C-alpha cells in the first residue's frame, strides 16, 4: 500500500510549496502538474491514476487541486473505489472509506464547483464593468494606429513584407498579421 500524492498548480507562476509542505510527510511519492484542472488532458494526473493499485491511497492537499466539477469528483471517487483505491484530502484529513467521509466529500465537491463558477461569473462581471467604463481589457496593443497605417501602406506599395516589418518592430509576424486584420475589421471611431 502506497500513498501517492497528486499536486497541481494552474500556472508556472503559482508555487506548489504549500501543497508540498502539507503532503511530504503523508505521501510516499509526490507528483506535480502545472496545468488547469479543467484541461482536457492532464498527463501527470493520468499517469498517477494509472499507477494506483488496490489498497493504494490517492492523496491531494485540497479537493480543488484535483477536480473543479462535482460530477467529475464524484465519478472519480466511484471509479477509484471500484478499483480498491482510497482517496484522501490531506488538509481535511478526510477518509472516503466511511459513509461520513463520502458525505463530506460530496458536499466539498459541490462547494468546489460552486466556487469555480462564482469566480468565472465575477471575472465576467468585472470585465463587462471595465468595458462599460471604456477600459481596454487584456494586453496593450503592440502597435499604435500610426504604426499599423504605416505597415498597411508599406505592404500595399510593396516597400516591405510582413516579415520585414515584424522584424523592425520586434514582434512575431503572426502578431503583425493579426493586428493588421483587426485594424481592417475595427469599426471607425
Catalytically active residues, by annotation? 10
Is the distance from CB of 104 to CB of 98 less than 8 angstroms? no
Backbone phi, psi, residue 39, to 5°? -60, 145
CB 171 within 8 A of CB 143: yes
User: Distance from CA of residue 29 to its chain's centroid?
Assistant: 23
Q: Measuring CA to CA, how many Å separate 116 from each of 8, 62, 98, 133, 147?
A: 16, 14, 27, 26, 41
Mapped onto helix, strand or coil, the DSSP state of residue 13 is coil
Residues pairing with 9 in the sheet? 34
Amino acid at each position: 500500500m502506497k500513498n501517492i500524492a497528486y499536486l497541481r498548480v494552474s500556472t508556472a507562476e503559482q508555487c506548489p510549496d504549500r501543497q508540498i509542505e502539507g503532503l511530504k510527510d503523508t505521501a510516499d511519492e509526490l507528483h506535480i502538474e502545472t496545468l488547469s484542472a479543467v484541461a482536457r488532458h492532464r498527463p501527470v494526473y493520468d499517469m498517477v491514476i494509472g499507477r494506483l493499485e488496490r489498497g493504494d491511497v490517492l492523496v491531494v492537499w485540497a479537493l480543488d487541486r484535483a477536480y473543479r466539477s462535482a460530477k467529475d469528483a464524484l465519478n472519480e471517487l466511484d471509479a477509484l473505489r471500484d478499483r480498491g483505491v482510497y482517496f484522501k484530502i490531506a488538509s481535511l484529513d478526510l477518509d472516503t472509506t466511511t459513509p461520513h467521509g463520502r458525505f463530506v466529500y460530496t458536499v466539498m465537491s459541490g462547494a468546489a464547483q460552486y466556487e469555480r463558477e462564482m469566480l468565472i461569473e465575477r471575472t465576467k462581471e468585472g470585465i463587462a464593468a471595465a468595458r462599460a467604463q471604456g477600459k481596454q481589457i487584456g494586453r496593450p496593443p503592440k502597435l499604435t494606429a500610426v504604426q499599423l497605417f504605416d505597415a498597411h501602406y508599406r505592404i500595399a506599395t510593396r516597400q516591405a513584407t510582413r516579415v520585414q516589418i515584424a522584424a523592425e518592430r520586434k514582434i512575431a509576424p503572426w502578431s503583425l498579421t493579426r493586428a493588421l486584420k483587426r485594424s481592417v475589421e475595427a469599426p471607425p471611431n
